[in-house]
Amino acid sequence: MREEKNNQRPILPLDTSTRDVNPTAPPVHVNSTSNVHRGTHLKQRLRDSTKLIAPLIVVYVLISCLQQHYTRFRFDLPVHRPTGICKQEQPLRPSTNVAGKITHALKSDDFAARAAEALGGAVRVSTEVFDGWGLVGSDPRWGNFSLFHTYLEATFPRTHASLSLTKVNTYGLLYEWKGSDDTLAPLLLMAHQDVVPVDPAAYSLWKEPPYSGKLVDGYIWGRGSVDFKSGLIGILLAVETLLEEGWTPKRTIILSFGFDEETSGVQVKAL
């Protein structure tokens, strides 16, 4: 009987974990030997993990050291540092500052008054044209353009003295301002002398007479003050001002002024 008792395995307390989940489950006996084996297996896993992680840590440290070394080597290159400051050259100034003088003149009250008077005078010389007029040379009504040419010669004397003028089909004006470099293509500036006619019956509808050229509140009133004697006078006034300052162009400048633009420009095709 004693030998039978010694051969019996000890009975441990019931594992109630299963009964907590399922109260009807039969009691389970836990063998103490299995717990010992579990602890042994856990320690073995930790030792295996340490053997695996240790080489990885060594590799990481090695890579970090190499990266730091080569990065420092890359950016520790010799740097050139200037030993002195570059000499500041004196500003270059042209012998004549034509642009500066003209810019200053354009902002003056005297120039504004001069421009207004030149345009107002051009408006006062009627150069209206009609579709039913005959050809130049056969219809005397074209004669008003001769009066306009006389006005231009008196208003811009330097231009007419310095530029060559060719009259095309009697009343077309072609000015040439010779440049210093013949290899450059010329610059062409164009305008027209004629204006749209005004019906005499509509004169009373105008705030100012259509050919008064009157300056009111900073505006020139009259036919042609916009289309297009303003452009024509502006071109000639610019040339006259440049000539007064002694300026000469590098490329040739051509001025072309027609006289029948408002009637389709048939007679000024030669321009």
Per-residue pLDDT of the chain (271 residues; tens, 9 = 90+): 444 444 555 544 444 444 444 555 555 454 555 555 555 666 677 676 666 676 777 777 777 766 665 555 455 566 667 777 788 888 777 667 777 778 888 889 999 999 999 999 999 999 999 999 999 999 999 999 999 999 999 999 999 999 999 999 999 999 999 999 999 999 999 999 999 999 999 999 999 999 999 999 999 999 999 999 999 999 999 999 999 989 999 999 999 999 999 998 888 877 7
With respect to residue 2, please indicate whether it lies within any of the assigned structural domains.
no
The CATH number of the domain holding residue 133 is: 3.40.630.10
Structural domain boundaries enclosing 214: 110-268
- pLDDT on residue 1: 46
Question: How far apart are the two ends of the chain, measured CA to CA in Å?
Answer: 146
With respect to residue 21, please indicate whether it lies within any of the assigned structural domains.
yes
AA letter at 232: L
With respect to residue 189, please indicate whether it lies within any of the assigned structural domains.
yes
- The torsion defined by the Cα of 13, 18, 20 and 24, in degrees rounded to 10, comes to -100
With respect to residue 203, please indicate whether it lies within any of the assigned structural domains.
yes
Q: Which of 240, 260, 261, 262 is catalytic?
A: 261
- pLDDT on residue 252: 98
With respect to residue 87, please indicate whether it lies within any of the assigned structural domains.
no
With respect to residue 81, please indicate whether it lies within any of the assigned structural domains.
no
Q: Let me know if 16 is exposed, middle or buried by CB neighbors in 10 A (0-12, 13-18, 19+).
A: exposed
Q: Are residues 259 and 148 in the same domain?
A: yes
Whether 261 is catalytic is yes
3-state secondary structure of 122: helix
- pLDDT on residue 70: 58
Spatial neighbors of 51 by CB under 8 A, at least 6 apart, are none
Q: Let me know if 105 is exposed, middle or buried by CB neighbors in 10 A (0-12, 13-18, 19+).
A: middle
Q: In terms of pTM, does the model score above 0.85? A: no
- pLDDT on residue 2: 46
Whether 194 is catalytic is yes
- Residue 172 is encoded by which pair of tokens? 């077309």
Q: Which of 194, 240, 260, 262 is catalytic?
A: 194
Domain count for the chain, please give it: 2
Q: Are residues 20 and 144 in the same domain?
A: no
With respect to residue 195, please indicate whether it lies within any of the assigned structural domains.
yes
Q: Are residues 67 and 119 in the same domain?
A: no
Buried b (16+ CB within 10 A) or exposed e, 223-252: bbbeebbbebbbbbbebbbbbeeeeebeeb
- pLDDT on residue 190: 97
d(CA 122, CA 125): 5
- pLDDT on residue 61: 72
Q: Are residues 123 and 19 in the same domain?
A: no
With respect to residue 173, please indicate whether it lies within any of the assigned structural domains.
yes
What is the chain's length? 271
